[in-house]
Structure 1
């Protein structure tokens, strides 16, 4: 009898594991990659997606073998130890987002660099994207550039309207909003059907916790990663959204 119960338990466990892995919705696991936290997902088309959280606004998305770096900066990782990039996305020219040393460490002749107009000009290579532009990078990889700017009086000197990019990256059907340096701008109402969102919470340069809560309720992502948060008490965002059942707030080491 004990043997039969053990077999039944093993079959149930195996089934449950297979189901969770086949479902597209992101898993709730944290693993380590060279001391960096990572989260793993299965996309809607059944392919693998891993997000590596370096720090601040620097990310690596590994999708179906492709390596997509976002705002690589040497202060947050040793990029000589990272894999070579298929794509590098740059939101704007501030030193905590734009670092030529980090770019050169992961760049190859076939790497596609995509940046806002100022960074494209400063690099003298890559492809420019302006707010509203869209690129089909691969049959199942799409990139959209969206506005990112300050609205609070006196803060527009940090991120003026029309200069910088946020990005919506669609990977195998999962839509990922990487907001860049922005406040809770009116254009957020056009950011729709988002599975994963990265919102900056770093006053006075980006959002206050209250602004991030409002932005989350506009965009309504399934998962929110507050990022670029510096010394901000990021738990204020998590606590403020604890009753918003449609969004899971995940805190990672993105200060």
Structure 2
């Protein structure tokens, strides 16, 4: 799925590849998010100018997929644990910001408060993973990462484009997904990292938001 969004500068193309993998094309620049070789052959996809890694789990940090799209000038930004495991790139903690070409990039919190791997141990621990808020031209793009609805989201919206995960028990239930969307108020909303999704039901619950 590829959608095109005009901006006050260049055109932004958004391609949802699958699972938690996304590709952006902004003018001549290519940004990949969480490339994962189990859902796409990355050797046939455009080389990356920037790669964003949300966290260190294997379905988000895939060194083989990264190698397929990396070139000598590629910049990699990720959570501290992901960068430590990969062995290269720039680490961003929750709340930290950086600039890359025309983009402002802020690492946002992404974690579980309810779903536990074992008693007292969340599937995603606070501070270990990132979401990302990208700002370019007149657009604000939110990539949530693996997270539930968390208090830090209250200050994120509104955004133009959002990617929210929807798969129990690891991230959001359908109801939590809807509550999160109402909180951050995206114009366009992409469910991602899902096992199944009923777009018609989500659209009825969120009539003011365009579900992609």
Equivalence for 1:147: 109
Question: Which consecutive segments of 4 or more residues in structure 1 shift more than 2 A?
Answer: 153-157, 231-239
Structure 1 or 2: larger strand share?
2
Compute the displacement of 1:108 (Å): 1.0
Equivalence for 1:86: 49
TM-score normalised by structure 1 residue count = 0.79
Task: Give the counterpart of 1:117 among 36, 58, 80.
Answer: 80
1:192 matched to 2:157? The reply is: yes
Compute the displacement of 1:77 (Å): 1.1
1:101 matched to 2:64? The reply is: yes
Task: Give the counterpart of 2:21 among 35, 55, 58.
Answer: 58
Matched-pair contact (CA < 8 Å) for 2:114–2:122? no
Larger Cα-atom Rg: 1
Alpha-carbon RMSD: 1.3
How many Å separate the matches in 1 of 2:58 and 2:203? 28
How many Å separate the matches in 2 of 1:47 and 1:232? 31
Compute the displacement of 1:48 (Å): 1.0
Compute the displacement of 1:124 (Å): 0.9
Structure 1 or 2: larger helix share?
1
How many Å separate the matches in 1 of 2:23 and 2:111? 23
Equivalence for 1:40: 4
Q: Secondary structure at the match of 1:132?
A: coil
How many Å separate the matches in 2 of 1:228 and 1:123? 22
Equivalence for 2:142: 177
Equivalence for 2:194: 229
Unmatched segments (≥5 aa) in structure 2? none
TM-score normalised by structure 2 residue count = 0.94
- The count of residues paired between Structure 1 and Structure 2 equals 209
